[in-house]
């Protein structure tokens, strides 16, 4: 039985060490849900065409999905964009969740070094994946409306922080290494610029989107959502590899490891006990 206990201790110790390492990193990033908060509208940015606008220009009488990412990110940000596209592709079948009609999308770069050129390239990439409704003779209209309702913003660090601080989105930027650590979360804003709801993680469930957008359209504010498993994009090693960090998932993994190994130990103990009982019964019969 000793080898099993040894495996358990190694697994738990290893996970605990990883947790300590992640904890020191994820203190630099996180999410404080500021439901009901109003966003500053006079903050300057540039859209994907290079046009200078104030943040208030993104509000066109519709709810706004605010997605803080950066356009050159190759990990979590890609998953966020991909899942948003998939959700909207499904919604087109019922002609719902149409950008530019039902709501607007604002993807805000949290990397102040990114440019409108990069923003436009990301927008082209996204719209190459988007599929307009078929057979309704309105593909051109749908795409034009969606493009008008989808902004890709870049700006100074001060401008970016003004917005991310207002919605409680905490990220870290290391000037020396040009590294950004950030959580995965999006915000649904009312037409008046108030935080209505949060979507935590890289997924955009269709039912949640519809419900939250309907609430925001009525200028209503929702309730805090569970953020127990906060996904984040963190770059921490010397080789410069990006690693997806889920601090609380590591905790869950630790628990699962303990339960799994504990189950193995219990199973082996019961098996040995049954064998001993059988041997005892056999000896009693002789």
Q: Identify the pLDDT of residue 205.
A: 92
Is there a contact between 145 and 97 (Cβ–Cβ < 8 Å)? Answer: no
- Cβ-proximal residues to 263 (8 Å cutoff; 6+ apart), any chain: none
Type and span of the H or E element at 202: none
State how far the Cα of 167 lies from the Cα of 197, in Å rounded to an integer: 10
Q: Identify the pLDDT of residue 14.
A: 36
State how far the Cα of 107 lies from the Cα of 131, in Å rounded to an integer: 19
The residue ranges of the chain whose pLDDT is under 50 are 1-22, 236-255
Closest CA to 80 of 49, 48, 109, 44: 109
Closest CA to 117 of 48, 187, 62, 33: 48
Q: Identify the pLDDT of residue 119.
A: 96
Q: For residues 66-93, b (16+ Cβ closer than 10 Å) or e, as one string?
A: bbbbbbebebbbebbbeebbebbeebbe
């Amino acid at each position: 039985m000793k080898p099993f206990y040894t495996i358990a201790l190694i697994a738990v110790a290893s996970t605990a060490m990883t947790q300590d390492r992640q904890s020191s990193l994820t203190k630099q990033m996180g999410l404080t849900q500021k439901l009901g908060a109003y966003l500053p509208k006079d903050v300057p940015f540039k859209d994907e065409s290079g046009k200078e606008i104030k943040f208030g220009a993104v509000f066109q009488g519709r709810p706004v999905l605010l997605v803080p990412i950066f356009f050159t990110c190759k990990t979590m940000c890609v998953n966020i964009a991909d899942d948003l596209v998939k959700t909207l592709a499904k919604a087109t079948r019922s002609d719902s969740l149409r950008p530019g009609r039902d709501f607007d999308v604002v993807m805000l770069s949290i990397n102040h070094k990114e440019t409108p050129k990069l923003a436009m390239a990301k927008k082209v990439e996204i719209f190459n994946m988007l599929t307009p409704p078929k057979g309704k003779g309105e593909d051109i209209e749908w795409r034009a409306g969606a493009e008008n309702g989808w902004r890709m913003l870049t700006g100074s660090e001060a401008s970016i922080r003004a917005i991310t601080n207002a919605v409680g989105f905490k990220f870290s930027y290391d000037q020396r290494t040009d590294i950004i650590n950030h959580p995965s979360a999006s915000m649904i804003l009312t037409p008046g610029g108030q935080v209505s709801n949060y979507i935590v993680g890289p997924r955009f469930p269709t039912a949640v989107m519809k419900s939250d957008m309907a609430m925001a359209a009525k200028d209503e504010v929702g309730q805090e959502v569970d953020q127990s498993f906060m996904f984040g994009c963190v770059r921490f090693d010397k080789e410069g590899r990006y690693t997806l960090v889920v601090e609380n998932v590591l905790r869950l993994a630790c628990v699962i490891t303990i339960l799994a190994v504990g189950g193995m130990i219990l199973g082996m103990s019961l098996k040995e006990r049954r064998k001993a009982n059988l041997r005892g019964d056999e000896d009693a019969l002789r």
